[in-house]
Amino acid sequence: MMMKTNKERLGIYIHIPFCKSKCIYCDFVSVTNQSLTDKYFDYLLKEIEMYKEVLNQFKVVTIYFGGGTPSLVDALYIEKVVNKIKEYTDLNDILEFTIEVNPGTLNREKLEVYKKVGINRISIGLQSTNNNTLKMLGRIHDYDEFLDSYNLIREVGFNNVSVDLMFGLPGQTVEMFESSIDKVIKLNPEHISAYSLKVEESTKLYKLIKKGVLEEPNEEIDRVMYELLIDKLSENKYNLYEISNFSKNEFESKHNMIYWERENYLGLGLAAHGFIDNKRYGNVISFNEYFNIIDNEIKPVEETSVISEEECLFEEVMLGLRLSKGINYKKLNEKYNIDFIKDHNQEVIELLEEKMIEMNNESIWITKKGMSVSNAIITKII
């Protein structure tokens, strides 16, 4: 890889694949057996060493510990990873340093270590304020435990907190979801992520729905919930800046913006994905493979693909339209030598007439009305 005279920005994602228990909707690579924790972190440090040239050549601006449940493991593991990264790059340019946490796995000692190593943003999983819903989902906490964790995060001094919610859940009414939104708004987090339930075939939820134990999500109710969410959060000064993400001014997730704007990011750990110099890669998903490959002093990458110009354009449009600011088609025209409006004339005219999109002399974006059917709009345009 060529040395970069003016260092480009880099985000780092680090996967911590351990959970106390598996939620019924989760299809992420995670395990409840924590006996491999020590070994996993030893090998994670070795993997970081393999990327020392990349860490030296880029300017690290965001770090994100995701999972799994990063807050489940001892905070000293997190500190070791940060110290290893610091061996190969300075972190003076860090804009945002996030760790995902779950209620029931957090204490003051962990939070103080997080603060000491430079973490400045906490993303906490709530999903619902209804205890019956939390139990049905397989969450390990109730709402009171969430409140205890949230208040502790604030006490320790974190002033950038994101709360996760889910909607379209089995048995969840619009009124139940509205209650969750209202309670979260009162807590005044800087950021709220709200995701519509997606039923993946590999999950326990899929099996329970197939057996008729739980009801399948209703698209119409899902849409009503989403539109309610947009209205209530907008009224309370949360900006919808991406389909599933809302923030107070200046508190957009800088790490996720790296994904959506197709900047470079390094993926470390089991099943992590990265995107460096227009090459996308994914790590192996088996612990044994991960350990064995690293033992051979090889990066634990399972697949790599070079993104073609056509794929780059596709990704820029698809990801850009997820953002409320939309895509700058004038820049796309210059970059790819195309005429975007001419190429998509019929689709653009129809969507404008339906008030699903708006445009000016350089950009196209999805309207508030279109956001609830954004996937269909993006599919139609691309």
Tell me: pLDDT of 291 over 70: yes
What is the structure's pLDDT at 198? 79
- For residue 232 the two structure tokens come to 């209530």
Q: In 3D, which of 134, 239, 124 has the Cα closest to residue 176?
A: 134
Tell me the residue length of the chain: 382
Q: Calculate what percentage of the chain has a pLDDT beyond 90.
A: 81
- Check whether 206 has a pLDDT greater than 90: no
Average pLDDT of the chain to the nearest whole number: 93
Q: Which of 368, 311, 302, 371 is nearest to 336 (CA)?
A: 311
pLDDT tens digits for 212-226?
787 777 788 989 999
* Residue 29 binned pLDDT confidence (cut-offs 50, 70, 90): confident
So where are the chain's domains? 9-260, 309-381
Judged against a pLDDT cut of 60, whether residue 355 lies above it is answered with yes
Whether the predicted pLDDT of 2 surpasses 70: no
The three-state secondary structure class of 344 is coil
**How many C-beta atoms surround the C-beta of residue 103 within 10 A?**
23
Q: What is the mean pLDDT of the segment spanning 127-147?
A: 91
- The answer to whether the 9-260 and 309-381 domains have the same CATH topology is no
Q: Which CATH number fits domain 309-381: 1.10.10.920, 3.40.50.1820, 3.30.1300.10, 3.30.230.10?
A: 1.10.10.920
Ordered DSSP codes for 21-72? S--TT--SS-BS-GGGHHHHHHHHHHHHHHTHHHHHHSEEEEEEEEES-GGG
Locate tokens 């990327």: which residue?
Answer: 51
Does residue 139 carry a pLDDT above 90? no
Residues with Cβ within 8 Å of 263's Cβ and at least 6 positions away in sequence, in order, are 8, 9, 10, 11
Q: By CB neighbour count within 10 A (0-12 exposed, 13-18 middle, 19+ buried), where does 272 fall?
A: buried
Look at residue 248 and tell me whether its pLDDT is greater than 80: yes
* Greater pLDDT, 25 or 334: 334
pLDDT score, position 24 = 67
Give the separation between CA 362 and CA 28, rounded to whole angstroms: 38
CA angle 186, 192, 198 (to 5 degrees): 125
CATH 3.20.20.70 is right for the domain spanning 9-260: yes
What angle separates helix 108-117 from helix 75-86, to the nearest 10 degrees?
0
Hey, which residues does 107 pair with through a beta bridge?
none
In whole angstroms, how far apart are CA 149 and each of 121, 123, 187? 14, 11, 12
pLDDT tier at 32, thresholds 50, 70, 90: confident
HEC readout, 178-245: HHHHHHHHHHCCCEEEEEECCCCCCCHHHHHHHCCCCCCCCHHHHHHHHHHHHHHHHHCCCEEEECCE
pLDDT at 332 over 50: yes
82-96, 143-157, 210-224, 350-364: range with lowest mean pLDDT: 210-224
Lateral strand order in the sheet of 239-242: 239-242, 245-247, 191-196, 161-167, 121-127, 96-101, 59-67, 9-16, 264-268, 273-276, 279-283, 301-306
Query: Residue 3's pLDDT is what?
Result: 46
